[in-house]
């Protein structure tokens, strides 16, 4: 059971470069999320999706774009990377949380922008 898989796990980018983080889940979850985690801070929501073909902004969406073309995949894009985007990125997925279903997190993607 793979659960939530993120790729790549580590990446170093130069300022201005673009990249895409891929999140894949094999649990048929409707909800998917992208969070970032900075040192000494909790996770902050970047974007989320409530189903295939839908996306919405979270708490810190600037500088990021997302797409949910397939139910199992949620892509996070950085069009022009900035050093402020150096962080650990976590993807998560869930069914209806309020029905008692757990939200599952991936193992994280470490991104450094130099």
Residues at the contact surface with other proteins, assessed by CB under 8 A: 4, 31, 33, 35, 40-45, 48, 50, 56, 58-59, 90, 92, 94, 96-98, 100, 102-108
Q: How far is the CB of 80 from other proteins (least distance, A)?
A: 26
Contact between 75 and 22 (Cβ < 8 Å): yes
Task: Show the beta-strand stretches assigned E in the chain.
Answer: 4-7, 10-13, 19-25, 31-37, 43-49, 56-57, 65-67, 73-78, 87-94, 104-105, 109-113
Nearer Cβ to other proteins, position 17 or 37? Answer: 37
Taking the C-alpha atoms of residue 8 and residue 100, their distance in angstroms, rounded to an integer, is 30
User: In the complex with other proteins, which residue's Cβ is closer, 82 or 97?
Assistant: 97
Residue nearer to other proteins on the CB measure, 17 or 86: 86
DSSP letter at 108? Answer: -
Shortest separation between residue 9's beta carbon and other proteins, angstroms: 10
Taking the least distance from each CB to other proteins, the nearer of 57 and 70 is 57
């Amino acid at each position: 059971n793979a659960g939530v898989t993120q790729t790549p796990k580590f990446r170093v980018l130069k300022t201005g470069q673009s990249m895409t983080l891929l999140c894949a889940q094999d649990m048929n979850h409707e909800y998917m999320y992208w969070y970032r985690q900075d040192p000494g801070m909790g996770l902050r929501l970047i974007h989320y999706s409530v189903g295939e073909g839908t996306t919405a902004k979270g708490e810190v969406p600037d500088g990021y774009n997302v797409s949910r073309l397939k139910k199992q995949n949620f892509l996070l894009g950085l069009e022009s990377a900035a050093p402020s985007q150096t962080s650990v990125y976590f993807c998560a997925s869930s069914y209806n949380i309020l029905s008692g279903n757990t939200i599952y997190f991936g193992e994280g993607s470490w991104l450094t922008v130099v």
